[in-house]
Amino acid sequence: MTNDLLKRVLAIACLTLMLAPAIFAQTKSDTTPPEIWIITPTDGSTVSGKAKIIFYSFDLGGIDRYELYVDGELKQTLLPTARNMYFVWSSRETGPHTLICRAYDRAGNIGTSPQITVYR
């Protein structure tokens, strides 16, 4: 084998070793939904007026958006940079209410927080 041929073979081998992880990483599909939890308000707490809702989420592939559901109805959609939101309760919405947050990742997986109940 000549020096030029040996250099080319070594260059191709090195390039293959460097690019292999990126090539194989692209063939994996993300099927894991994001994790999401409501931090405040806490389950069983009383809320009134303008309530701040703080949540935490995690996803290795990145978050696309968040949603807030009150009593099963979509109330807000947020950008992936958000970590809290405000929800204004009307005076006629008394009694217990359920809250959940959903996180959508970039692969289309959906994570749903545990449901909490708050009182108004």
> Could you report the per-residue pLDDT of 84-103, keeping only the tens digit for each?
888 887 767 788 999 999 99
Tell me what percent of the residues of the chain surpass a pLDDT of 70.
Answer: 77
Task: Write out pLDDT tens, residues 47-68.
Answer: 988 889 999 999 999 999 999 9
The pLDDT assigned to 111 comes to 98
Homologous superfamily of 35-119: Immunoglobulins (2.60.40.10)
Beta bridge partners of 88: 50
Other Cβ atoms closer than 10 A to 103: 26
Mean pLDDT of 112-117: 98
Q: In whole angstroms, what is the distance from residue 45 CA to residue 22 CA?
A: 48
Mean pLDDT of 102-112: 96
pLDDT category at 21 given cuts 50, 70, 90 is low
Cis peptide before 41 (omega within 30 of 0): yes
Task: Write out pLDDT tens, residues 29-51.
Answer: 899 999 999 999 999 999 988 88
